[in-house]
């Protein structure tokens, strides 16, 4: 899966740092949305890419933070909408009960 990130990395090695890499990042985001991925999964994918490129794991994890401002809001919005659709809140008031008559 990390191969699809190659176009998302700019000439300077940073995520979505030039026009072509930003366009590729938009396509990657679209794929993530279609797959129902969360930010944690996307961040892990970015960190794996940088690790595979030979970076130390700590540095790779830190570099993945660069995508956070661009990608996380979109993926969080999906999670919130999914949660709302999955668990609607009832606005109907409970039925009133009368007193029992002795009789």
* Cα–Cα distance list, 13 to 17, 58, 101 (Å): 8, 16, 80
Q: Is residue 99 part of a domain?
A: no
pLDDT reported for residue 71: 94
Residue 11 counted as domain residue:
yes
Tell me what pLDDT residue 96 has. Answer: 66
Q: Is residue 51 part of a domain?
A: yes
Structure tokens at 15: 């995520």
Range of the domain at 13: 2-79
Q: List the structure tokens of 46.
A: 């970015």
Count of structural domains, the chain: 1
Per-10-residue mean pLDDT of the chain, 103 residues long, equals 88 94 96 94 92 90 86 78 53 64 61
CA distance 18 to 43: 20
The two tokens of residue 79 are 């999670």
- The confidence score (pLDDT) of residue 31 equals 96
pLDDT at 37: 94
The reported pLDDT for the residue numbered 46 is: 93
């Amino acid at each position: 899966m990390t191969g699809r990130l190659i176009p998302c990395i700019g000439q300077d090695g940073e995520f979505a740092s030039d026009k072509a890499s930003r366009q590729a990042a938009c396509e990657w985001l679209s794929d993530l949305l279609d797959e129902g991925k969360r930010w944690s999964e996307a961040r892990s994918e970015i960190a794996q890419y940088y690790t595979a490129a030979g970076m130390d794991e700590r540095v790779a994890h830190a570099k993945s933070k660069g995508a956070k401002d661009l990608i996380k809001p979109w993926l969080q919005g999906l999670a919130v909408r999914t949660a709302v659709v999955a668990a609607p809140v009832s606005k109907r008031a409970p039925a009133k009960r009368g007193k029992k008559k002795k009789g």
